[in-house]
Structure 1
Amino acid sequence: MATSREPSVDSIGKEIEADEVRIETSEKEDGLPAPGPSTTKNVGAGDAALEILQDGSAHYEVSEEEDRRVLRKIDFWVMPVVLLVYFLQQLDKSSLSYTSVFGIVQATHLVGSQYSWLTSIVYLAQLVCQPISSYLLVKLPIPKFLFVNVFLWGAVVASTAAAHNFKGLVTTRFFLGVFEASVAPAFITITQMWWRRREQTMRLSMWMAMNGVTGMVGSLLSWGLGHISDRLQPYQVIFLFIGLLTVVVSPIVFFVLPVSPAKAKFLTREEKIIAFERVRANNQGTENKVWKWEHVWELLLDFKTYLWFSLLFLCTVPSGGIGAFGPLIIASFGFDSFNTILFNIPFTFLQVVVTLASAWISTKLKVKWPIIFCLCIPAIGGVAALLTLGRDKHERGKLLASYYVISFFTGLQPMLYAWSAQNTAGHTKKLCTTGIVFVAQCAGNVVGPQLYTTDEKPYYHRGLISNMICWIALSVLTVVTAAYLAFRNKQQEALRRRLGKAGKVVDRSLDSYSERKGNSEGNEGEARNDKAFDDLTDIQNEDFIYVL
């Protein structure tokens, strides 16, 4: 691996311990200056990368083979844990919808909107706990914090089997929300930490696609567990099995998931340098354990914050309602419990396909807004069809097809997660932005199920009409957000010129390896990205380029 301004890191002859804060190897041994007061930035004030890169100003050229080798290692060690935990979270949270077709409403004597509140209360708890989770994610090692939460929510789901009325169910669902509040913010932070912006969309979509995988596995699992007839009710068997599964698997998070690239035991010192160089062009940093209030104030004054909040709220109002009432909507077409569970599988399969296909197209086009806009259109059409069609037996095929078309909306949330994550820098600001996004998601998921009630079956007019309005508003706001980000890029370009830098530069964080090595026409030069690991926000760092 050649270097542009420092000796090659190929000459590094030995690894250092992953948890070392200072590099003890001398310049004579490895070609890197030993850290000291004159050459090293304050690690506490900057990024965890400075433990390895020292002052962060030296750039090391990474070959394509080295880039791919380190990426394979990161994918192998980090992604499976992320996918597993998100799968378990969605399985546990969705367990209520599976039990809805196996008589939980009747067995626990739920009336009126009580079933809706069993879904809303999870997100209400997450909303309340989100500020605390954001703070703890800055202060605590993510793997340990996640492990505790995964273990506890598994125990809560298992204990839900003992609930026999609304009071017991709502209590356990509340604590489920408390312990699940950290998952999505932690995973967005992990995605920003380990992968280049070009790679983030697909990785984030992969763990979000576990929603669909959960739907398929959970439906088949519930179908099988629902046949068990013993002293326990079918809904109790489902809660008990799913909860205990999570408890048993949770230690994997503690023992496998690394804290950060600087402390990853599966990477050599040379590979850690490569890992950091890979994400330098992101200008987002990796990790910092210092809470910075200036990042919080900037967040509150940043117009983007309110755009992300609005977009996620409009996205999750429909997903919250359909997520809770999806099986009941299918049942309203005239199917029994077991057929309802089976007919839910194609919907969740389409969810996986749509989510991953959207991410792939977005990565190729290097933009988000056209994909988000286009995903709204089929969902609007599917709802319009459900509102128009009757519920006679001969309409079942059309009703199922219309319901499956709605599944395009499931690609929206991962795209919006990726869009907001890729346009934010500064560790505290990143976590707080994720917190704001997650608060919007929780608020939408609280409201969404309340727009549906079991009394409105089989048409669910109020819920479906409100979903259509949300998707129309979302498509319009997507265009507004893209225009604002284009405006901010113009401002960044003007600022670079005032500072004597190249104004119009290419965003290499969105390029493939071959594109990174080429020259892009119409650009004035290359961004140096010297401040990539200074823990600066996107507004503070003039080299930051916003993703449309």
Structure 2
Amino acid sequence: MSSRSPSFDSNLKETESHIEVALPRGPAASHAAKRGDAALAIIGESSERREISKEEDRRVLRKIDIWLMPVILLVYFLQQLDKSSLSYTSVFGIVEEAGLVGREYSWLTSIVYIAQLIWQPISSYLLVRLPIAKYLFVHVFLWGSVVACSAAAHEFKGLMAARFFLGLFEASVAPAFITITQMWWRRREQTMRLAMWMAMNGVTGMVGSLLAWGLGHIKGSLHPYQTIFLFIGILTIVTSPVVILVLPDSPIKARFLSIDEKVIALERLRANNQGTENKVWKWDQALEVLLDVKTYLWFLLLFVCCVPSGGISAFGPLIIQGFGFNQFETILFNIPFGFVQVVVTLGSAFVATKAKLKWPVIIFLTLPPIASASALLKLGRGPEHQAALLACYYILSFFNGLQPMLYSWSSQNTAGHTKKLCTTGVVFVAQCAGNIVGPLLYRTEDKPGYHPGLIGSLISWIALAVLTCITATYLAYLNKWQEEARIRKGKPGKVVDRSLETYKARDSSGSVEGNARNDQAFDDLTDRDNEDFIYVL
């Protein structure tokens, strides 16, 4: 923790239309960056500051969005399309053609997450040590190759091997994107950006269903499932170079920003108290992850969230087929499910951003799937129930808004670069565990009702609502603890979390009194070590 001059406060200037940024110090600050955040190589540790207008801030934010978001959306779309390719092939006879029996089809989904579970600890370490964009490009290219090669598999063992390596190479995508979101956007902006790339799951559901419908009509020497694998894999391989050509490794290496714009891009993140990146692995931060109660709450939340997610993602088309539709009708009726998913994911993120609260939105999102799963368990599967069954299935899609909300909730409540990546690793270990268990609750023999799987999903959503209340209560306690820590150090106890506010927002008096100074924002401190850190409820 760096010492601050007594004259520091006298240098503070803040008006209604301006925010604070530090003047860059140039290469001389690189030594500071080694022990703190990489951002110090650009902004330095000087107490001297200049003012930047809201217009400049908006201009830089617009450039960041234009350069980064299209790449993020494309890669996540491809990742979900490749992973979901199995569910599309299930409608076009892969179970019969490959001779899958019992839970073998379920294992083809679960093995993806077993591979991710194995790779997550290693991936978390490599994301600290390696350039993130280059690391991501290699994985995108490799998983595209694996999907294309899946077309050559004709039986369970070959498909299992292909799906294992698919999971291994896809393991880095979501953790990398959470890290990128933390290092480029303010906490107020993170929820919607994260929801946007998670909403690509729904876009994939719509586009992928149409692709599968078209590819399924191709007549030739290949089985329809082989055509689907081959087309989707080649599409990923061809588009993968976009990652390395456009996506920068960090704000300080962004070629599309001038030095002055980099200062703006970095200093606008000061209120986050999360920093950007540090290439030094810090074992004390890794240990803190194991000792932090929040870690175990995030794990439980993501696990119970992903148990139903994994099962319904793998068996969704088969559930629809169980309503009495043929293979082409099943694929087309899966499209509205993806549309509702996009609307719910973006809508819930918008509400959470406006309310500056996550927990009430999460609890609300559990209610529709609880109701629809209960109805699906009660309704028969006769032709007279088809409309009601489809409506209930579409309402189930509300659960898709839960995972991005939990991602942003956990990421916004963690600071310290090593701790952030370790926490993200824990979150994705939980996700993998849930996605391993989820498909195993469903069996092809349970058709058309799939009652064991729906009962497991129902229990998971109820548990998620209870755990959300417990987590919100604990975070409120931590904020009280932080307030007392600030008072002990002679700082104002009650402060405004500027990272959740718009730049024009001020306290009721219109003054800056009560605003956090955030002087340690780029010292690479954890949320527990930095008393200025405010937890998001």
> What's the TM-score bracket when you normalise by the shorter of the two chains?
over 0.9
The one-letter amino acid paired with 1:546 is Y
Distance 1:61 1:526 in 2: 17
Aligned-residue RMSD, C-alpha: 1.8
Shift of 1:94: 0.1
Q: For residue 277 of structure 2, give the secondary structure of its aligned residue in structure 1.
A: coil
Q: For residue 516 of structure 2, give the secondary structure of its aligned residue in structure 1.
A: coil
Q: For residue 545 of structure 1, give the secondary structure of its aligned residue in structure 2.
A: coil
Offset from partner CA, 1:24-59 (integer Å, 9 cap, x none): xxxxxx9755664xx776211111110101126444
Alpha-carbon distance change, 501 to 387 in structure 1, aligned in 2, over 3 angstroms = same
Provide the residue aligned with 2:143 in structure 1: 153
1:442 and 2:432 equivalent?
Answer: yes
TM-score (norm 1): 0.93
Distance 2:307 2:10 in 1: 50
Alpha-carbon distance change, 249 to 210 in structure 1, aligned in 2, over 3 angstroms = same
Provide the residue aligned with 2:184 in structure 1: 194
Distance 2:251 2:47 in 1: 18
Alpha-carbon distance change, 432 to 324 in structure 1, aligned in 2, over 3 angstroms = same
Shift of 1:271: 0.6
Provide the residue aligned with 2:61 in structure 1: 71
Distance 2:510 2:301 in 1: 34
Contact 1:5–1:60 (CA under 8 A) maintained in structure 2: no
The one-letter amino acid paired with 1:392 is G
Provide the residue aligned with 2:525 in structure 1: 536
1:237 and 2:243 equivalent?
Answer: no
TM-score (norm 2): 0.95
Alpha-carbon distance change, 42 to 313 in structure 1, aligned in 2, over 3 angstroms = same
Provide the residue aligned with 2:535 in structure 1: 546
Distance 2:178 2:25 in 1: 33
Distance 2:131 2:353 in 1: 30
Aligned with residue 75 of structure 2, among 78, 85, 110: 85
Distance 1:4 1:202 in 2: 36
The one-letter amino acid paired with 2:520 is K
1:489 and 2:479 equivalent?
Answer: yes
The one-letter amino acid paired with 1:94 is S
Alpha-carbon distance change, 108 to 57 in structure 1, aligned in 2, over 3 angstroms = farther
Provide the residue aligned with 1:419 in structure 2: 409
* Number of equivalenced pairs: 522
Contact 1:192–1:286 (CA under 8 A) maintained in structure 2: yes
Shift of 1:6: 8.6
Shift of 1:5: 3.4
1:364 and 2:354 equivalent?
Answer: yes
Alignment of 1:20-419 (within 5 A): 36=28, 42-55=32-45, 57-419=47-409
The one-letter amino acid paired with 2:457 is N
Distance 2:367 2:509 in 1: 34
Q: For residue 319 of structure 1, give the secondary structure of its aligned residue in structure 2.
A: helix
Alpha-carbon distance change, 392 to 484 in structure 1, aligned in 2, over 3 angstroms = same
Shift of 1:60: 3.9
Alpha-carbon distance change, 508 to 6 in structure 1, aligned in 2, over 3 angstroms = closer
Shift of 1:526: 1.5
Alpha-carbon distance change, 268 to 385 in structure 1, aligned in 2, over 3 angstroms = same
Provide the residue aligned with 2:19 in structure 1: none
Contact 1:6–1:32 (CA under 8 A) maintained in structure 2: no
Q: For residue 61 of structure 1, give the secondary structure of its aligned residue in structure 2.
A: strand
The one-letter amino acid paired with 1:215 is G
Provide the residue aligned with 1:475 in structure 2: 465
Alpha-carbon distance change, 465 to 59 in structure 1, aligned in 2, over 3 angstroms = farther
Contact 2:146–2:165 (CA under 8 A) maintained in structure 1: yes
Provide the residue aligned with 1:428 in structure 2: 418
Shift of 1:319: 0.2
Distance 1:478 1:56 in 2: 41
Provide the residue aligned with 1:21 in structure 2: none
Query: Percent of aligned pairs with the same residue?
Result: 70
Distance 1:271 1:71 in 2: 10
Provide the residue aligned with 2:11 in structure 1: 5
Shift of 1:522: 12
Contact 1:130–1:439 (CA under 8 A) maintained in structure 2: yes
Contact 2:120–2:429 (CA under 8 A) maintained in structure 1: yes
Contact 2:23–2:49 (CA under 8 A) maintained in structure 1: no
Alpha-carbon distance change, 454 to 520 in structure 1, aligned in 2, over 3 angstroms = farther
Alpha-carbon distance change, 521 to 471 in structure 1, aligned in 2, over 3 angstroms = farther
Distance 2:295 2:512 in 1: 29
Shift of 1:96: 0.1
Aligned with residue 510 of structure 1, among 478, 500, 504: 500
Shift of 1:513: 1.9
Contact 1:40–1:55 (CA under 8 A) maintained in structure 2: no
Provide the residue aligned with 1:14 in structure 2: none
The one-letter amino acid paired with 1:282 is N
Contact 2:341–2:397 (CA under 8 A) maintained in structure 1: yes
The one-letter amino acid paired with 1:5 is N
Shift of 1:302: 0.3
Provide the residue aligned with 1:526 in structure 2: 515
The one-letter amino acid paired with 1:532 is A
Contact 1:283–1:531 (CA under 8 A) maintained in structure 2: yes
Distance 1:258 1:35 in 2: 20
Offset from partner CA, 1:68-126 (integer Å, 9 cap, x none): 10000000001111100000000000000000000000000000000000000000000
The one-letter amino acid paired with 2:519 is D
